[in-house]
Amino acid sequence: MRDDVDARLAARLAELRAEHDWSLDDLAHRTGVSRSTLSRLERAEISPTAALLGRLCSAYGLTMSRLLSEVEAQPAQLVRAADQMVWTDAESGFVRRSVSAPHAGLRGEVVEGVLRPGAVISYDAPPVPGLEQHIWVLEGSLGLTVQGEAYALGPGDCLRFRLWGGTRFECPGPEPVRYAVFVVLP
C-alpha cells in the first residue's frame, strides 16, 4: 500500500510540474529543494518528508490534504476509518490521517496528526495564504509556533488562526501527541 501511494504521489508531483510548465531547475528555485532531490522524488526513488511536501504544496498553491487526496480515489461522502488515507513521514515519524479529505464544492477538511516525542515539523509558509486552521490536541502535548508566536497546548486545548507565515509543530513528550487539524480554505 505504501509503495502504491508513493508511486501515485510521485506521478502527481511530476504532473503538477508539467502543468505549471516548470523545469526541475524552476521548481528547485521556487522551493529551495535541490534539482536532484526533486528528480528522485518524481521517479519515486525517495519518499517525501512532511517538510518537503510542505514546500512543494506552497509552490503549487495546494494544501497537503488536497495534494494527497489527488492521489487517492474520488472521496466518498462517508469516510470509514478503514478507508482514510494514512501517510507517514519516515524521517520525523509524523503520521498523518486524512479523516475528511478535500471534496469538490467543500472548503473544509479534517486531518489527524501524530508526532512521536522529540519530533519537529516546520513549514516555511502556508500552501494557501490566509488558510484557516483549528488545531485541537486530543492526547499528549504539542508545542506550536505560528508566525513566530509560540504556544504550549495540552489535551483539549484548541488554537485557531489564519495562516500567513511559517509554522512549527513539536512534540515535547514524554508521550506522542495526537491532534486534529480542521482546515478551511479562504
- Taking each helix axis as running N to C, give the angle between helix 24-31 and helix 35-42, from 0 to 180 degrees, rounded to the nearest 10: 110
Predicted TM-score (pTM) above 0.85: no
- DSSP summary character for residue 141: -
Phi, psi of 121 (to 5 degrees): -130, 130
The mean pLDDT values, 10 residues at a time, for the chain of 186 residues are: 73 89 92 92 88 90 82 70 89 90 77 95 89 96 97 98 95 96 90
d(CA 165, CA 130): 9
Q: Name, in order, each residue with C-beta under 8 angstroms of 88's C-beta and a sequence gap of 6 or more.
A: 2, 94, 95, 96
